[in-house]
Amino acid sequence: MSTDTRTGSSTDTGKSTGDPLVHAVNVTKAFHGNEVLKGIDMDVHPGEVVCLLGPSGSGKTTFLRCINQLESIDGGRIWVDGDLMGYEDRSGTLHRLTDKRIAAQRREIGMVFQRFNLFPHLTALENIMEAPIQVKGEKKKAVRERALALLDQVGLKDKPSAYPAQLSGGQQQRIAIARALAMQPKLMLFDEPTSALDPELVGEVLRVMRQLAQDGMTMIVVTHEMGFARDVADRVVFMDGGVVVEQGPPSEVISNPQHERTRSFLRRMRQEEEAHEKALEEAAHLAGLGDEGPA
């Protein structure tokens, strides 16, 4: 590309380590006068996995929704792969794009939510095939092949004909990931993808996400799974009160946080994790006793 819309508009160059796939500058967003994002800057480079941490209400979901324009922003700019999201810049003034053009931008970004929202009347395979056919107008045969490969990728190649109600939460979430990937997105956004799952189903979803990261997908993941953040994230971003408090490699932010707000959040997370593990151990113990049977 010979023109770069980013240069000239600000002091930001963003060029030092190659162009970021996501380039967010001073993003602000308020709901009814309540400022929820207070100037978020964030760059995510191709292939990078960024885990977004922060207490409830800190603006994590809102920020993800702003990236793919499920929410409009009040100030700042977000580029994804060089595209200014949601707006057109005409000599420095932003004009909102038409819904159609925003939908086209959104198509390049996969999003996985806490709730999987699969179509209940479609099978697993049909759920995965739906958008590429209906939205992109792709040929059914090619989409079907891709969908079958995706089912395999998420460990569900034996479930093409299952309806969502016949699948566990973990399986449904893996279908939801496959469905997002079927659109061949440049970027995947995950908003607490495992927090609605029974604890024993969390691992299978994280495994799929870990593999996706290894395969080079660019990902922004809002999660409370500290183990995942520690192992998989290239960078951890801690948000609180609508600002980025600190960020860096997990070895720094998680193991050696510099800010008290980060420290107290991580302490709380650790306590929750411990309580969680204890509950799991107790459940396993009870199950073990049940298995013993008569001597």
Ligand X SMILES: Nc1ncnc2c1ncn2[C@@H]1O[C@H](COP(=O)(O)OP(=O)(O)OP(=O)(O)O)[C@@H](O)[C@H]1O
Residues that bind Mg ion (CB under 5 A): 61
SS3 (DSSP) at 43 = strand
Please choose which of Mg ion, ligand X, none residue 218 contacts, taking the beta carbon within 5 to 8 angstroms, the exact cut-off set by kind: none
| Residue 279 DSSP class | H
| CB closer to ligand X out of 36 and 73 | 36
For ligand X, the binding residues in 56-115 under the rule CB under 6 A are 56-62
Residues numbered 3-32 forming contacts with ligand X, rule: CB under 6 A = 31
* From the list ligand X, Mg ion, none, partner contacted by residue 58 (C-beta under 5 to 8 A by kind): ligand X
Angle between helices 199-214 and 169-181 (to 10 degrees): 20
Cite the DSSP H helix spans in 40-123: 60-67, 99-106
Cα–Cα distance for residue pair 78/152, rounded to 1 Å? 34
What are phi and psi for residue 135, nearest 5 degrees?
-90, -40
CB atoms near residue 266 (< 10 Å): 17
> Which of ligand X, Mg ion, none sits in contact with 169, Cβ below 5 to 8 A by type?
none
Site string for ligand X, 132-171 (x = CB under 6 A): ----------------------------------------
Choose among Mg ion, ligand X, none what residue 3 binds, the Cβ cut-off being 5 to 8 Å by kind.
none
Give the one entry of ligand X, Mg ion, none that residue 171 binds, where binding means its C-beta sits below a cut-off of 5 to 8 angstroms depending on kind.
Answer: none
Q: Which two tokens stand for residue 182?
A: 């079927």
| DSSP-assigned beta bridge partners for residue 219 | 49, 188
**What tokens were used for 85?**
């999201």
Name the minimum Å distance from CB 271 to Mg ion. 20
For 161, list phi and psi in degrees, rounded to 5.
Answer: -95, 0
The torsion angles phi and psi of 23, rounded to 5 degrees, stand at -135, 100
Fill in the per-residue mask, 43 to 62: x = in contact with ligand X (CB under 6 A), - = not in contact: -----------x-xxxxxxx
Whose Cβ is closer to Mg ion: residue 115's or residue 210's?
115
225 and 55 Cβ atoms separated by less than 8 Å: no
Query: Does residue 36 touch ligand X according to CB under 6 A?
Result: yes
- Which of the choices Mg ion, ligand X, none does residue 56 contact, using the CB cut-off of 5 to 8 A by kind? ligand X
Q: Measured from the CB of residue 56, what is the shortest distance to ligand X in angstroms?
A: 3
Which CB, 37 or 80, lies closer to ligand X?
Answer: 37
Pick the closest to residue 234 from 257, 258, 251, 246 (CA basis).
Answer: 251
Residues at the interface with ligand X (CB under 6 A): 31, 36, 54, 56-62
